Structure formats: structure tokens, C-alpha cells
Amino acid sequence: MTRAHLPAAALCAAVVLTGCSTDGTPPPPVPGGQIGTLMLGNYTCELPGEAGGPVGKVLPEYAFEVVNASNYKADGIRGSYLYTSDRVVMTGGKLKGLKFIRVSSGFLRQLDDQGKETGMRCVLTSRDY
């Protein structure tokens, strides 16, 4: 490599390492927003209760455990999820296709196909450290 090629090679290496374009601008944002992860632990899903009745109706068939950065287990079956911006989509496993909005840390609400909240909520009930 000649000296004339060294600055170009250094620039290419910098682009690969930093993700910046050749003009120094940052890359465009990820479609759907910044990628994140859910808190590790067990999530219990339920429907709201009624006045004078139980606080909520637990739905064990939707319970899941977040086991690492982008994986969960439901009924012993491992699956994956994608969390971007405030949305969580179960992309594989038993709960594949379920969509949620993250209300707060450890609190999710299910979304229907039109993106509207349903009555089901999933709450972090025990944490894995």
C-alpha cells in the first residue's frame, strides 16, 4: 500500500468502526426506533378485574420469562422478541405475533392488530439478577 492510499484506508476503517458515513454524519436511526431489552424475570399476564371482585384474572397461557437480552421462555419453549422504541413484538416461540406497548419498566399492555391497547397487561412479578 502506498502512502497515498493510507489516508483512504484509515477513513474506511473509521467508517466501519464508528458507523459514520464518509462525510462524518451519524447513520440513520433504526426503523421503528432505538432497540432495547426488557428486564430479566417472570412476567404474569392478566385481564383487569371487576369492582368488588378479584383484582385481575390471571392468564397463565400468556406468562413468560425473559431469559436474556432478546429471548423469553413460555411453557418451556424458547422464543425471541424485538423491543424498539416503546413497542415489543414476540417474533418467535409460543407467543409469536403478540404485540405490546411498554408502559413503564416491567409493565406491558397488549396491542391488537390495529395498534390499539387491549385489556391484557403483563407485569414483571419476579426479577432474575
**pTM reported for the whole predicted model:** 0.73
Looking up residue 66, the CATH number of its domain turns out to be: 2.40.128
- Taking only the tens of pLDDT, the chain with its 129 residues reads 555 544 544 444 444 444 555 676 766 665 678 899 999 999 999 999 887 877 889 999 999 999 998 999 999 999 999 999 999 999 999 999 999 999 999 999 999 999 999 999 999 998 865
- Asked whether the beta carbons of 80 and 66 are under 8 A apart, the reply is no
Q: With the C-alpha atoms ordered 29, 32, 37, 38, is the resulting torsion angle positive or negative?
A: positive
56 and 81 fall within a common domain? yes
90 and 107 fall within a common domain? yes
Say how far apart CA 77 and CA 108 lie, in whole Å: 20
Say how far apart CA 117 and CA 102 lie, in whole Å: 11
